[in-house]
Structure 1
Amino acid sequence: MILRRENSNDFNEINLLIEEAFNNNFEKELVEKIRKNPRHINELSLIAEDIDEIAGHILFSEIIVKGDIDYLGGLAIAPLSVKPSYQNQGVGTALIHQGLLLAKALGYKFVVVLGHSDYYLKFDFKKASSFNIKSPFEVSDESYMVLELRENSLQNISGTVNYLPEFSN
């Protein structure tokens, strides 16, 4: 399995993978829209490639925590897609680990995710509410999580996550 940055030659296969993983078009359309945003971070759109096929894809995008002060330096994971025939084989785990390492190296301070708490706890994600970070939409407290990439980077930060506009269109 090779982990690498996606390129334009991968887009069609990634689209098919996302459709297959989620059984709908929403996430595929979201990824296509984010790629067109000037704030898209090419280094943090990764694929897991096995021989001649793409087994998984992950996309990180910039967020702002809006409170009394706007806090920059954060990312959101959305979406993480793994081809059904590769699920439960460590593909998603490898993509998350690689993405978090790259995000930290690029200077990002924290990452939020909406997902299964049991899965993301193994990466040390914690409930966002314990850091006074709120989702902009109604979700369960257990499924909205955050990870500090730099120790104490969320100290004195509170507010609501503001995603790229593509998430609400």
Structure 2
Amino acid sequence: MRTRNNWITRAETGADIPTIRDINLAAFETQLEADLVDALRVDSSWIDGLSIVSADEDGKLIGHALLTRCHIDDTPALCLAPVAVWPEYQKSGAGSAAIRAALTEARDRGEYYVTVLGHPTYYPRFGFTRASTHGIGLTIDVPDEAMMALTLDQAHPLPSGTVRYAAPFGI
């Protein structure tokens, strides 16, 4: 494991696409997440500039975090998924750096809400809390503690409602 505190983060470029796919293929047991990123990239939910990579000082891509459009009922929100890091760099901070950069970019663009379906011990470090405490749910059964939400602006409390993901998620 390699740890760092100063990962370089930036929006993906066209040249990054094959490596992002390779990172997702390596980070997950199946190709579903890699295929999801490819499908989202051509979906109307895609937002240029919110697919963020983390790289080392030599420019080697290490991690990736993706935010795409979703809705909480009719309120626009973002979905954080997937987040992937080369296995040998997991727990190095590369994923956290990409997530923080993505959330900062979303906030700077005037976005307010982000949802994530993920590990309940990992995502709270970024400010995510259990979505059900805000009256936010899904149309499918998932562990309650795994569905989380975040407001990027405390002046805009999370709305309640059902999360509607982009079509490629199949939810």
Q: Check whether TM > 0.5.
A: yes
Paired-residue identity, %: 35
* Match in the other structure for 1:71: 75
Question: Distance in 2 between the 1:46 and 1:17 partners?
Answer: 13
Aligned-residue RMSD, C-alpha = 1.4
What's the offset of the Cα at 1:152?
Answer: 4.5
1:43-82 aligned at under 5 Å gives the runs 43-50=49-56, 51-66=58-73, 70-72=74-76, 74-82=77-85
Deviations 1:107-131 (Å, cap 9, x if unpaired)?
1111110111111111121100000
* Match in the other structure for 2:115: 112
1:136-151 aligned at under 5 Å gives the runs 136-151=139-154
Show structure 2 runs of 5+ residues with no match: 1-6
* Match in the other structure for 1:87: 90
Question: Distance in 1 between the 2:45 and 2:163 partners?
Answer: 16
Of 27, 33, 36, 1:27 maps to 33
Aligned residues, how many? 164
Of 12, 34, 45, 1:6 maps to 12
What TM-score do you get using the length of structure 1 for normalisation?
0.92
What TM-score do you get using the length of structure 2 for normalisation?
0.91
- Letter matched to residue 8 of structure 1: G
Deviations 1:34-53 (Å, cap 9, x if unpaired)?
11123411110011112242
What's the offset of the Cα at 1:161?
Answer: 0.3
Question: Distance in 2 between the 1:161 and 1:128 partners?
Answer: 10
Show structure 1 runs of 5+ residues with no match: none
Deviations 1:68-106 (Å, cap 9, x if unpaired)?
xx212x101010001111111111111111111111111
- Letter matched to residue 69 of structure 2: E
Greater than 3 Å deviation, 4+ residue runs: none
Answer yes or no: is the 8 Å Cα contact 2:45–2:70 preserved in 1. no
- Letter matched to residue 71 of structure 1: T
